[in-house]
């Protein structure tokens, strides 16, 4: 079986990943999604978390962090339109911890509902980032 599927991960800033893969796992809005070639067409939103891509002939999976976005699946193509995407090796634990501290402080100070919502969204994203870094570290 050497069935593969074309995966494109793009963020507003750059193209993160483009290539063939055996399967891919994504953080869907209502739970993780594992996608193999010839999947039924699907459009869904994804939340903050890691995207794991299994590239053929490579033992280790590629890990990409996304902060949410849109996922489009067609039988032969998977497109991830990420709000922010970072390759796992570019993630920095110290920076993430510091950013989380700042966000938590901001949450205490935040006055309006809108501010609270935006800070909470950022916090959720940073937590997911941290979780991924720690898993990588093991």
Distance, CA of 62 to CA of 106 (rounded, Å): 33
Segment contacting other proteins (CB under 8 A): 24-32, 86-94, 104-112, 125-133? 24-32
Task: Report the residue from 34, 44, 115, 117 that binds other proteins according to the rule CB under 8 A.
Answer: 44
Letters for 68-97 (x = contact with other proteins by CB under 8 A, - = none) are --x-x-x----x-x----------------
The distance of closest approach from Cβ of residue 18 to other proteins in the complex, given in angstroms and rounded to an integer, is 8
Helix (H, G, I), strand (E, B) or coil at 133: helix
Tell me: does residue 11 bind other proteins (CB under 8 A).
yes
Distance, CA of 98 to CA of 133 (rounded, Å): 14
β 42-54/23-28 pair status? antiparallel
Tell me: does residue 114 bind other proteins (CB under 8 A).
no
Tell me: does residue 14 bind other proteins (CB under 8 A).
yes
The distance of closest approach from Cβ of residue 96 to other proteins in the complex, given in angstroms and rounded to an integer, is 23
Segment contacting other proteins (CB under 8 A): 49-57, 66-74, 96-104, 118-126? 66-74
CA angle, 119 then 97 then 121, to 5°? 20
CA atoms within 13 A on the CB side of 136: 22
Distances in whole angstroms, Cα of residue 23 to Cα of each of 3, 38, 76, 94, 101: 9, 10, 11, 31, 35
Q: What does the binding site for other proteins look like in residue numbers (CB under 8 A)?
A: 8, 10-15, 28-30, 40-45, 70, 72, 74, 79, 81
């Amino acid at each position: 079986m050497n069935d593969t599927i074309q995966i494109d991960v793009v963020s507003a800033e750059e193209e993160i990943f483009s290539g063939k893969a055996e399967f891919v796992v994504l953080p869907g809005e209502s739970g993780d999604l594992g996608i193999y070639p010839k999947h039924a067409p699907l459009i869904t939103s994804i939340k903050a978390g890691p995207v794991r891509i299994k590239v053929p002939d490579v033992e280790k999976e590629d890990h990409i962090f996304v902060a949410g976005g849109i996922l489009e699946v067609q039988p032969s193509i998977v497109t991830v339109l990420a709000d922010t995407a970072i390759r796992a090796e570019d993630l920095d634990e110290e920076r993430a911890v510091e950013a989380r501290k700042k966000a938590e402080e901001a949450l205490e100070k935040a006055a309006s509902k809108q501010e609270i919502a935006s800070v909470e969204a950022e916090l959720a994203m940073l937590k997911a980032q941290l979780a991924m870094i720690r898993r990588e570290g093991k």
